[in-house]
């Protein structure tokens, strides 16, 4: 069971750079990169902050992939 | 960077203190100067290298790890501790098995260095893996 996300797509829809999104939620750009590449699983708090910054429900950006294909559990 | 005055002032003082401690501890003046300069160079670069989030309103403690940085730091510290403890256990067993007088002090210094090297190697490796 893996946590998947469409953070990159949601960020690009809002025309935000990784740097500006990172600044908005108080993390480094490397953390945004790691989350987008499924190399780092964000905390619930960070996931909620990212969703709020992108103006979407958290469930539209993060979801569980129960097939376990790809990503990181 | 605006608002970072107290960060830079505090780190300049820390770098100077580091050099002074080394010189007062018996090191050559140039070793103290080099260590202070290297420390100051790192402190000047740190806000720009992307490892930390920058909070100018926090004054001298303007640099903070975010949750990924904290997770990496925690794992690296755990790895360093475990490697040090296993090495110490191995040395104690080795010394006991061969009935030596005790663990020589220089060996303990090397074990400590091993833990430090493990910490930095883990930090480096985990940052590469998680990016």
- Interface size, chain A vs chain B, as Cβ–Cβ contacts under 8 Å: 37
In this structure, are residues B58 and B64 in contact, taking their beta carbons and an 8 Å threshold? yes
Helices B67-97/B105-129 angle, 10° precision: 150
pLDDT, one tens digit per residue, over B50-79 is 889 988 888 888 899 999 999 999 999 999
In this structure, are residues B91 and B38 in contact, taking their beta carbons and an 8 Å threshold? no
In a domain, A70, yes or no: no
Looking at residue B98, its pLDDT comes to 79
pTM for the complete prediction? 0.79
In a domain, A25, yes or no: yes
In a domain, A56, yes or no: yes
Looking at residue A54, its pLDDT comes to 95
In a domain, A73, yes or no: no
In a domain, A72, yes or no: no
- Interface contact B130-A42, CB threshold 8 A: no
Looking at residue A69, its pLDDT comes to 56
In a domain, A54, yes or no: yes
Residue B2 Rama label (left phi>0; alpha psi -120 to 50; beta): beta
Residue B98 backbone dihedrals phi, psi, to 5 degrees: -105, 15
Q: Is A39 on the interface with B (CB under 8 A)?
A: yes
Looking at residue B97, its pLDDT comes to 82
Confidence of residue B126 (pLDDT cuts 50, 70, 90): very high
Looking at residue B4, its pLDDT comes to 86
Q: What is the mean pLDDT of chain B?
A: 90
Average pLDDT, 10 consecutive residues per value, chain A (73 residues): 90 95 94 93 95 94 78 46
pLDDT, one tens digit per residue, over B13-55 is 999 999 999 999 998 999 999 999 999 999 999 999 888 998 8
Chain B nearest CA to A67, separation (Å): 23
What residues contact B71, with CB distance under 8 A and at least 6 apart?
A40
ipTM: 0.80
Q: Is A10 on the interface with B (CB under 8 A)?
A: no
- Number of structural domains in chain A: 1
Best to test chain B binding among A31, A32, A35, A44 (most B CBs inside 10 Å): A31
pLDDT at B92 over 50: yes
Rounded Cα distance, B47 and B128, in Å: 20
Q: Is B57 on the interface with A (CB under 8 A)?
A: no
Q: Is B74 on the interface with A (CB under 8 A)?
A: no
Q: Is A28 on the interface with B (CB under 8 A)?
A: yes
Task: Label residues B25-43 b or e (16+ Cβ within 10 Å = b).
Answer: eeeeeeebeebbeebbeeb
- Which domain covers residue A29, as residue numbers? 2-65
Beta-bridge partners for A2: A65
Confidence of residue B129 (pLDDT cuts 50, 70, 90): confident
CATH number of the domain enclosing A49: 1.10.260.40
């Amino acid at each position: 069971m893996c946590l998947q996300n469409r953070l990159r797509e949601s960020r690009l829809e809002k025309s935000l750079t990784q740097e500006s999104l990172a600044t908005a939620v108080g993390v480094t750009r490397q953390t945004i990169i790691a989350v987008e590449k499924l190399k780092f699983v964000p905390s619930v708090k960070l996931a909620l902050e990212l969703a709020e910054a992108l103006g979407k429900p958290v469930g539209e950006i993060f979801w569980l992939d129960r097939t376990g294909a790809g990503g990181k559990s | 960077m605006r608002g970072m005055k107290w960060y830079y002032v505090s780190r300049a003082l820390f770098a100077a203190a580091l050099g002074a401690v080394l010189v007062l501890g018996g090191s050559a003046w140039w070793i103290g100067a080099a260590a202070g300069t290297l420390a100051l160079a790192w402190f000047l670069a740190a806000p720009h290298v992307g490892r930390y989030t920058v909070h100018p309103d926090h004054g001298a403690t303007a640099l903070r790890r975010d949750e990924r940085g904290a997770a990496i730091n925690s794992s690296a510290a755990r790895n360093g501790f475990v490697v040090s403890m296993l090495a110490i256990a191995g040395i104690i067993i080795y010394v006991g098995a061969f009935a030596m007088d005790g663990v020589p002090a220089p060996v303990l210094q090397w074990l400590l260095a091993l833990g430090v090297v493990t910490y930095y190697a883990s930090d480096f490796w985990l940052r590469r893996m998680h990016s």
